[in-house]
Amino acid sequence: MKRFIWLGLALSLVAIPSRAQDNPKGDVSVAYSLFHSTGVNLNGVSASGAYYANNWFGLAGDLGVYHGSPSGVGVTAMTYTVGPRFSVRKSDRVVPYAQALFGGSHISASFGGFSGSVNPFAFGVGGGAEISLSSSSRVTLRPEVEYFGLRSNGATGNGVRISVGVVYRIGTR
């Protein structure tokens, strides 16, 4: 019986430090995004959500809408992607991550009375970090940089998406 008491006490002491490292079950975020592709700068907003299977692996989804008027041409782009996210949770303050997202996009352009659109395959590879503003906060700041490719008709348009947003962590694991 004494062994079980000592074992219970030892397990309780081990659990105390792990309490400080509560991992979220998921998160949602909204961010301002600058999308640069083939010489065109578009400004917009992106929203994402993620579910974390454990403390390092999650599944993320992202929806972005961007608009710009380079050279008088109105361009609107929408991207919708999903894929794995890998996090390094060594600290509660800064959680770096990398992700690879795949999906689609819709790009439309109009000039004068003419308009057209395409629906290329979209993929993004990159990462960022969640920076906690306080140790107990569920709200974090997320800067992010991704290589973003748009593939259509055998050609890939290379781009970069730079985002800064606010994340709300959901639940604990």
Phi-psi map region of 38: left, alpha, beta (phi>0 left; psi -120 to 50 alpha): left
Tell me, what DSSP letter sits at residue 112? T
CA dist., res. 33 & res. 66, Å (int): 8
pTM recorded for the entire structure: 0.82
CA dist., res. 84 & res. 57, Å (int): 7
Q: Encode pLDDT of 79-131 as tens digits.
A: 999 999 999 999 878 999 999 999 999 999 998 889 999 999 999 999 999 99
Please state the domain extents for the chain: 22-170
Give the mean model confidence (pLDDT) for residues 11-24.
54
- According to DSSP H, which parts of the chain are helical? 2-19
Q: Quick one: CATH architecture of 22-170? A: Beta Barrel (2.40)
- Token code pair at residue 41: 């700068």
